[in-house]
Amino acid sequence: MKDCVLIKSFPNGIALHLDEEVPFEEILQEIAYKFSEARNFFGNATMALSIEDRRVSGAEEIRIINTIKKNSNLNIACIVGKDEVTNKSFIKALAHMEKKLSGGEDGQFFKGSLKNKEVLETDNSIIILGDVYPGSAVISAKNIIVLGGLYGEAYAGGNGRRDSFVAALEMEPERLKIGDFKYKTNTKQSKWGIRPKVQPKIAYVKNEKIVLEMLTKDLLSTF
C-alpha cells in the first residue's frame, strides 16, 4: 500500500509530503499515527511546517497543525513554502522570540487570521499564526509578530513604550504605531490579495521615528 504521508526534515522545519488522491480524513489519521510514534524523536522543538504535493485549504492547514500538536510535543510556529532562503531568517528569529516567551516573559499565541473588522487586543506580546487583513487590527502593550501578512492595523507598545516592535512575514500595514510614534505607510501599496515575494520585516523606533528593516535573528536579539 502506498504511503500517503511522508515526513522529511529541513533546517528548522518539517516537510509533509501528502498524497493528493487519498481522502483528507485518512491523511489526518496517518499524520496522527506517525507523529504519535515519533513523539520522543521530535521532542518539544519549535519548527516550521511545509506541506508538499497536495493543495490544502486554510482550514485544512489548521486541522493538520492541530493534529500534529495533539500527537506530539512539537510547537508548529508557521507554515512556509519551498523557498528556504526567504524564510530562514524569519524562522530563526521566531525561534528566538519563542524562547524568550517560554523563558518567563509574558506572551501568547493566536491561531487564525483577523478579518471582517476584527480587533485583537492584549497586554502581552503576541504571535499571530495567520494574517491580519485590511480593516482589522491587533493591539499589544508589548510586541507583535505576525506569521503571515500584516495588511491591516498594528499598534504595539502601549502607554508610550518605544522599545517594542512589530514583525511580519509580509509587511504592508494600513496603519502602524509603536508607543507614541506613527509610521507613514506607502499610499501605493500593492493589493493585499496579490502576494509579493516574501520579505520578513521588523518595525521599531530608531532616531525618533519608526523604521522598517529586513528581519534577522541578530537584529531581533537586540530587543
Q: In the prediction, which pLDDT does 86 show?
A: 46
Q: In the prediction, which pLDDT does 196 show?
A: 44
Q: In the prediction, which pLDDT does 189 show?
A: 47
- The secondary structure of residue 185, as a DSSP letter, is -
Q: In the prediction, which pLDDT does 195 show?
A: 44
Burial class (CB within 10 angstroms; exposed 0-12, middle 13-18, buried 19+) of 200:
buried
Question: pTM of the predicted model, to two decimals?
Answer: 0.58
Q: In the prediction, which pLDDT does 11 show?
A: 65
Contact between 177 and 161 under an 8 Å Cβ cutoff? The reply is no
Residue 163 CA to residue 133 CA, distance in Å, equals: 25
Mean pLDDT of residues grouped by 10 in the chain (223 residues)?
81 84 94 92 80 85 88 78 53 57 61 87 85 93 87 91 88 93 67 50 91 74 64
Contact between 181 and 158 under an 8 Å Cβ cutoff? The reply is no
Residue 199 CA to residue 41 CA, distance in Å, equals: 32
Angle, nearest 10°, between helix axes 58-70 and 24-37?
30
Question: Cell for 210?
Answer: 519608526
